[in-house]
Structures are given as C-alpha cells and as structure tokens.
C-alpha cells in the first residue's frame, strides 16, 4: 500500500513541478534553520575522540573567594594549589585532571629548535597525567607523559604532528629536544592534529603543570565519573571539599562554580550555586523552545496553503475512492504520507544546507577559527538524523494535517462536485 502511495507522490511531484519545487524549498529552508541550531549543539555535546568521555565528565572552571575580614571578593580560574589539595584527593570521580583554560589557549608560546633562529608560535596546553586517561588522542608515535614524569617535574612534551614537522622539517621528532619559551623539553609522543572544535583537547603541544612556574598554573578541572549516575555523589563530595577549604583557610571561603555537565559547560552557563545554574538553564530552554516554535510554525503555515491547493485538485479522486469504500483514516494516512515524501526530500536538502551554514559560519557558531576543520564524526550521528526525521514529521503534520483531515471528512457528493465550483 505504502509503495503505491510513494509512487503516486512522485507522480504528483512531476505533474506540479513549480508548486512541488516551492514546497520542497520552503521545507528545506525551514529545516536548514532548525538543523543549524541542532547540529551546532550536537558538535559541542557529542562524545567522540579525542573528547570521548564528554557524557560522563563534569567540569569546574571558576572559583570565587570571599574575604570576610575585608568584605571583598576575588574570582578567577582554579589555582593549581586548590586542584592539588582539594580536588585531586576526591575519591568518587574515576579521574581528576586540570588543564589550562581554553580561553588562555592562544598562540603566544614560542617554540624553536636548539641552534635554530626560526621561532614558531604555538598553542600550549598545561596539564597532568590523568588528562590522557580522560581524553583519547590518536598517537602516531610515542606515548603521553607518565604520572612519574609529571610528579618528578620532568620536561616531557607531547606535540601535534604538524608542529613536529614544523620544528624538525620532516625528521623523526620522537625523543628529540626543542625549546618551549627557551626552556628545553623532550618529545615523548606525537599525536594527530586536533580540531579547535574540541575545546579541552585542542592544542599544538602538551606539557606537565609541574614544569611551569606557580603563577602559570591555573586550570579548568575535569572530573570523570565511572558513569553519569555518579554525578550527584561527585557534586556532594566537591561541596564537602569547599567546607574543608573554609575550615582550613578561614576567613577565606571557596565557591567552586561547578561541577557542571558538558552541555552546561559548553554553553557557558554560570551561577554562584545550583539554584542559579538551574534557573539559567530554564531561561535558556524557554528561549530555545520559543525560537524552534517560530521556525516550525511560520513555514508550516505558509506550506499549509500549498498543501490545501494540492488537495483541492484531488477532491474528485478522494470522493471516488470514498464512494468505493475507502475509510476516512485511509484517506488521511495517504495524504499525510504523500506530503511526508515532500517533507523528507526537503529535509535532506535542508540538512545538507545546514552543514554548509555551519562550515561557513563556524567562527561565529562554534567560536573556532574560520579555517579550522570540523570532524565528520561530530556532524553525522544518529541523534542528528533522528532530529531531521522528527522535524520533517512535525512540519508535515502542521502543514498538511488540517487540509488532509478536512479532505478525509468531506462528504462524497461534495468531493465529486468540488471541481465544478
């Protein structure tokens, strides 16, 4: 039955090429706008290499301190001292790691080869050994620096494939020494280049915290759980550490703005406590729902006029089918199915256009350089494809639902005489 409906839908598209083209492009543009939003969010949230554990990682990226004696506040990134004394000892997370904030990851690190006058600007990440257990980099040679090297403050470094080629001009860089801000480091590992889409993983080289001056050791903290079900227990343990800090550092009080999940962290939602964060999330959800409703309703209303026009031309056919015993629900399903074919074609075009928009506007939508790459694994996923079909289905119901319902309930005599009016 549905095979017949499909063939009839294609025949109708060929017979009314102009109207069909308008309907398809109207659907495509509507889905393009909606899917641009969905694809952008999916890129920020999907768990894929190297940030393969996004779905079970919490983040603490900010701290606020209050001096009760002076009645003043200080705020900023987590200090390495706080990380070492109050967050590394956490028992509930599987791994705890600190990496210098993504906003500080600017190309201001001077890289050069010993004995060379050529200087390269690179993005440097300062982190620890646990970082390599949370992330999943693709090593072409070597390994990450070990916990022993980290604890000992050994100047070991992992570099990207491109940076290794820039420094050593095609020579084997593994095991070689180079200068980072005029300090020697030995390359222990080389990884495939990382896209700037991955805010916590992106960089040109990675070195241990323990090789840097204390004043340079400020971090964003990642708390990786065994499973997302452990999040409440991790949050409770972090709150206990805040109270411990208050007791040991009186009159200072530590407020860790987090832990928050990857979605909240990527969206930059902040609050001084759980209630403020929850409120900010609710406001953002309401805004998103309002935008999506507008993007769904306006094109659906416009397309409903085209659907009504197409159905009117078929009222005689519908009347004849009903005269031969076709049920109302059969007519309704047929009209909706045929219109869904148009919606799906428009949906595929709209999804392709949304990818073009994301690529062309990635510096604005994703806050990455305009010439950066976006991994295919972040673009094509089951949630994205499911979202496309859901949007097609909703637009189909909104644009063709009422005309199809009216056509299915029209009396046979009125259907047969409709074209004579």
pLDDT tens per residue, range 88-124: 999 999 999 999 887 665 567 889 998 888 899 999 9
What are the residues whose beta carbons fall under 8 Å from the beta carbon of 291, sequence distance 6 or more? 37
* pTM assigned to the model: 0.79
Nearest residue to 179 (alpha-carbon basis) of 171, 170, 192, 167: 167
List, for residues 25-64, the tens digit of each pLDDT value.
888 888 888 888 888 888 888 899 999 999 999 999 888 7
> Among positive and negative, which fits the CA dihedral 189, 193, 196, 197?
negative
pLDDT reported for residue 59: 93
pLDDT over 70, % of the chain: 80
Q: What is the mean pLDDT of residues 288-295?
A: 81
pLDDT reported for residue 193: 94
List, for residues 341-392, the tens digit of each pLDDT value.
878 888 889 889 989 999 888 888 887 877 788 888 777 777 777 888 887 7
Contacts 24+ apart (CB under 8 A), 351-357: 351/31, 351/32, 351/35, 351/384, 351/388, 353/28, 353/29, 353/32, 354/31, 354/32, 354/33, 354/35, 354/36, 354/38, 354/39, 355/39, 355/379, 357/32, 357/36
Residue 56 has phi, psi (to 5 degrees) of -130, 30
Highest mean pLDDT among 8-12, 39-43, 137-141: 137-141
What are the residues whose beta carbons fall under 8 Å from the beta carbon of 381, sequence distance 6 or more? 42, 46
Distance of CA 274 to the CA centre of its chain: 23
pLDDT reported for residue 39: 87
Q: How confident is the model at residue 337 (pLDDT cuts 50, 70, 90)?
A: confident
CA 367/CA 196 separation, integer angstroms: 9
What is each CA distance from 273 to 56, 58, 176, 255, in whole angstroms?
A: 21, 15, 47, 8
**pLDDT greater at residue 393 or residue 130:** 130
List, for residues 194-252, the tens digit of each pLDDT value.
998 998 999 999 999 999 887 667 889 999 999 999 999 999 999 999 889 888 887 77
Residue 11, pLDDT > 70, answer: no
List, for residues 265-279, the tens digit of each pLDDT value.
877 776 656 677 777
**pLDDT greater at residue 135 or residue 316:** 135
Q: How confident is the model at residue 324 (pLDDT cuts 50, 70, 90)?
A: low
In 3-state terms, the chain is what percent helix, strand and coil (to 5)? 55, 20, 25
pLDDT reported for residue 228: 92
pLDDT over 90, % of the chain: 33
pLDDT reported for residue 421: 47
Residue 415, pLDDT > 60, answer: no
Residue tagged 């209050």 (tokens):
66
Distance of CA 355 to the CA centre of its chain: 14
Residue 251 has phi, psi (to 5 degrees) of -90, 15
Q: What is the mean pLDDT of residues 128-139?
A: 96
Residue 4, pLDDT > 80, answer: no
List, for residues 151-206, the tens digit of each pLDDT value.
999 999 999 999 999 999 988 999 999 999 989 999 999 999 999 899 899 999 99
Residue 307, pLDDT > 50, answer: yes
């Amino acid at each position: 039955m549905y095979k017949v409906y499909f063939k009839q839908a294609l025949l109708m598209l060929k017979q009314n090429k102009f109207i069909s083209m308008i309907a398809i492009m109207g659907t495509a543009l509507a889905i393009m706008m909606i899917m641009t939003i969905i694809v952008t969010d999916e890129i920020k949230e999907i768990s894929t290499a190297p940030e393969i554990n996004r779905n079970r990682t919490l983040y603490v990226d900010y701290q606020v301190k209050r001096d009760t004696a002076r009645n003043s506040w200080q705020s900023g990134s987590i200090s390495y001292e706080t990380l070492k004394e109050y967050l590394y000892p956490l028992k509930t997370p599987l791994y705890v790691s600190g990496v210098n904030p993504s906003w500080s990851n600017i190309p201001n690190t001077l890289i050069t080869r010993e004995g060379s006058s050529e200087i390269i600007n690179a993005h440097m990440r300062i982190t620890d050994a646990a970082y390599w257990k949370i992330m999943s980099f693709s090593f072409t040679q070597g390994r990450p620096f070990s916990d022993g090297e980290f604890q000992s403050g050994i100047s070991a470094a992992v570099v990207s494939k491109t940076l290794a080629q820039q420094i050593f001009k095609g020579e084997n860089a593994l095991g070689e020494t180079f200068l980072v801000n005029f300090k020697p480091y030995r390359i222990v590992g080389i990884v495939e280049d990382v896209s700037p889409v991955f805010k916590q993983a992106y960089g040109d080289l990675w070195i241990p915290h323990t090789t840097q001056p204390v004043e340079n050791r400020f971090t964003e903290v990642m708390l990786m759980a065994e499973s997302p079900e452990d999040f409440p227990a991790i949050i409770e343990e972090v709150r206990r550490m805040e109270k411990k800090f208050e007791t040991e550092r009186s009159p200072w009080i530590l407020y860790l703005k987090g832990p928050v999940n990857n979605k909240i962290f990527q969206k930059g939602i902040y609050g001084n406590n759980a209630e403020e964060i929850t409120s900010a999330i609710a406001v953002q959800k309401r805004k998103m729902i309002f935008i999506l409703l507008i993007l769904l309703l306006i094109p659906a209303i416009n397309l409903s006029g085209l659907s009504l026009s197409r159905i009117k031309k078929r009222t005689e056919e519908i009347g004849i089918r009903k005269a031969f015993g076709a049920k109302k629900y059969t007519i309704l399903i047929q009209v909706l199915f045929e219109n869904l074919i148009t919606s799906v074609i428009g949906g595929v075009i709209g999804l392709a256009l949304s990818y073009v928009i994301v690529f062309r506007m990635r510096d604005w939508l994703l806050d990455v350089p305009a010439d950066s790459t976006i991994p295919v694994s972040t673009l094509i996923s089951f949630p994205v494809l499911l979202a496309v079909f859901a949007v097609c289905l909703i637009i189909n119901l909104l644009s063709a639902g009422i005309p199809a319902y009216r056509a299915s309930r029209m009396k046979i005599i009125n259907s047969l005489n409709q074209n004579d009016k």
